[in-house]
Amino acid sequence: MNLCQANLGGDFLNNKPEEESMLFKDRGPSKSIIDLEKMIRLKSCAACNRPFNLGDPVVLACGAWEGSPKFIHENEAVYDAASGTYFERKCYSARGGKL
C-alpha cells in the first residue's frame, strides 16, 4: 500500500479527488496545465510554495501533506512506474525511492 492509498483508503485515481475535474485527458491521467481557473483556485504549489503561472505543467501527486493528492509543478514530482503515481520529489527521496 502506498502513501496515497493509506491517506485515501484506496487508489486516488478511482476516488475522484476534487482536482480531477480539472485534468486534461490528453496529457495523461494525472497531468494538466495551469489555466486561469486553476491559477485563481490553487494559488501556489504544495511542494515548493511558489505561485502557479498560466501554462505551468502540473501533476496530481501524493506528498508529505495530509489528505488527498494535490497539484504540484511537474518538475517537483517523481513518477513511480510501479504504482502509476506521481510523488513529491522530497517525499519520494526521503523514503529512499521506495513506497
Instruction: Give one DSSP letter per residue of 12-35, joined into a string.
Output: TTTS--GGGGG--GGG-TTEEE--
Q: So what's the pLDDT on residue 96? A: 78
Q: Minimal CA–CA distance to 99: which of 62, 48, 65, 74? A: 62
Domain residue ranges in the chain: 3-94
Query: What is the C-alpha to C-alpha distance for residues 53 and 34, in angstroms, rounded to an integer?
Result: 7
Beta strands per DSSP E along the chain: 31-33, 57-62, 70-73, 77-80, 85-88
Q: What is the per-residue pLDDT for 82? A: 83
User: Could you read off the pLDDT of 37-91 as tens digits, one per residue?
Assistant: 988 898 899 999 999 999 999 999 999 888 899 999 999 999 988 888 899 999 8
